[in-house]
Structure 1
């Protein structure tokens, strides 16, 4: 497997309402640049922005935001989390991220997914009845573009026919990194494994360790498909915030924006909205890594060792929180947790 890496992702949350917290999109974008610069400085391996087309997020075009940060950073990889490939043009996606790759001197990544939010489908004229086929066809086209400077593409239901067309610029990386984000569907895991693409599992409920069967499933089909085991990369993404002070204060303050966010999503999707008792159970042993730096380090190490993955992405803040909380999380994550985790894992 590839070396261990730890990074963060965000949807650039701008908040739900004044009671639970809300900032302008401009302010959230300015904060993002500051976060990326700090993340690079303290040693995070990755900063990813998830594409969303909603008023409560400021991230409709992650690649533009990341390009603004590319020349202000030196080593951190910059990418999406995710790019909703189903409602995007694979040619334009490659061109945008190849441009980012050039600007960052080979640090760009695409994390492709079907998207758990559906606003982009009607926005760009796509039918949700084609949810499955859109992603499959466009991923195939993106990978073909990544492989060949000039592409001949037969076209299909969702993509145009191309006859020996050049796609530029080309990435600095020999192959622009493309990973697949999955939410727990076995077919998505198997597809990523058979293609030999890195996989990121988004943990939204339950203990992260319950995803071990999906990790094992990926490894089985990855090896069966004959891919180089040295190139295998499996990641996990989990919501979290870190403090070096009283963790109860952070847990208490995070509840209001978190509850507001998931109440809104619950109303949109017909979920049952959990209350504080359920929230606290998620903090104790579920998918919310909110707490003291020493405890979060232990929980992240348990994820690496228990799942057998080699990438960890902390989704911060997950719901709008004061900027100083996010910066403190990045600082503690980079200066204390990441070097300790890598030291322990590399000794194991």
Structure 2
């Protein structure tokens, strides 16, 4: 299983009060986490995309380029690129440039966005999201697979034998389909034979299993080799010294994160008992000591057959030192258990 961490770059003042960090300060922290992930031998580092004052990064590929020049081996992942609001030609060009800068370490997770904020900003009709996403994903794959592209659709002007440059560093740039909770997205990923990155941010393991089964069924029905149907999982992650203290430490930040109003929702108040339940084996949260987090990930590997895991490690204003300690435990104590298990 490939292992990594990511940030959605949300901005909050410290829980105990104090000055809200600037976007620049948050970017400094996020880039430092990418460098740390590389130094500790993790496989992946990701940055998400948002378009409001509640988040620091609107262009993950730019922030990942900063990480690329300060690292050597960690793969650089958009988590996720909001494809519905962007020009697929430019998305490919930007990530191919990142791939060149990083000597072949760039990957795209192409999502629709669960947040409403970008649609008005970029003039996208929310009622046409699925149609627009499918069309833009097709063009992105055409750009990925061919140096010259002829294409037509409703979401941008047609292309007639147009050269698409620059090309990625080597072979084909990996494109994953980002999936929230909709079976339609899982069916699309399977039908195309593309790897699926599933956001496991709520609900139960049974819900996640149904989406993974839907994806694999669609892929096999479309004639794709089951061995090529890869599944990634993204979830909130905090690894403390022990399970009880980890939950004590993480709860104020998790509560802050999920209760903060966003363009997606007005937020919701989570009790300590609810967080504890979600942190147990079978729940969506990976908050605990190294042994418990490793056990949960082994469960996920066994029951879902996941090929990679990405943990969202900084949320709700969690201090940099606390994030870095969590990443160090994840890389130094959890990862060896998972790798030894195969």
SS of 1:15's equivalent in the other structure is coil
* Superposition RMSD in Å: 1.9
> Where does residue 23 of structure 2 map in the other structure?
25
Cα 1:266–1:165 shift into 2, 3 Å: closer
* Aligned mates of 1:267, 1:90 — CA distance in 2: 24
Mapped contact 1:192–1:199 kept (Cα < 8 A) = yes
Within 5 Å, which residues of 2 pair with 1:1-348?
4-15=1-12, 19=16, 22-154=20-152, 156-244=153-241, 246-265=242-261, 269=265, 272-285=268-281, 286-344=283-341, 346=342
Cα 1:61–1:335 shift into 2, 3 Å: same
Cα 1:17–1:268 shift into 2, 3 Å: farther
Mapped contact 2:3–2:308 kept (Cα < 8 A) = yes
> C-alpha displacement at 1:235, in angstroms?
1.1
Instruction: Give deviations 1:67-115, integer Å, cap 9, x for gaps.
Output: 1111211111001000000001101100100000001111100000101
* Aligned mates of 1:209, 1:132 — CA distance in 2: 25
SS of 2:52's equivalent in the other structure is coil
What is the number of residues matched between the two proteins? 340
SS of 2:260's equivalent in the other structure is helix
* Aligned mates of 1:267, 1:175 — CA distance in 2: 34
SS of 2:203's equivalent in the other structure is coil
Mapped contact 2:176–2:195 kept (Cα < 8 A) = yes
> C-alpha displacement at 1:149, in angstroms?
0.8
* Aligned mates of 1:268, 1:305 — CA distance in 2: 32
* Aligned mates of 1:210, 1:83 — CA distance in 2: 24
Mapped contact 1:234–1:310 kept (Cα < 8 A) = yes
Identify the range of structure 1 (91-100 vs 308-317) with the bigger mean alpha-carbon deviation: 308-317
* Aligned mates of 2:269, 2:120 — CA distance in 1: 27
Instruction: Give deviations 1:128-162, integer Å, cap 9, x for gaps.
Output: 222221111111110111111111112x2212111
Structure 2, unpaired ranges of 5+? none
Identify the range of structure 1 (77-86 vs 18-27) with the bigger mean alpha-carbon deviation: 18-27
* Aligned mates of 1:324, 1:135 — CA distance in 2: 38
Mapped contact 1:215–1:309 kept (Cα < 8 A) = no
* Aligned mates of 1:193, 1:108 — CA distance in 2: 22
Mapped contact 1:63–1:97 kept (Cα < 8 A) = yes
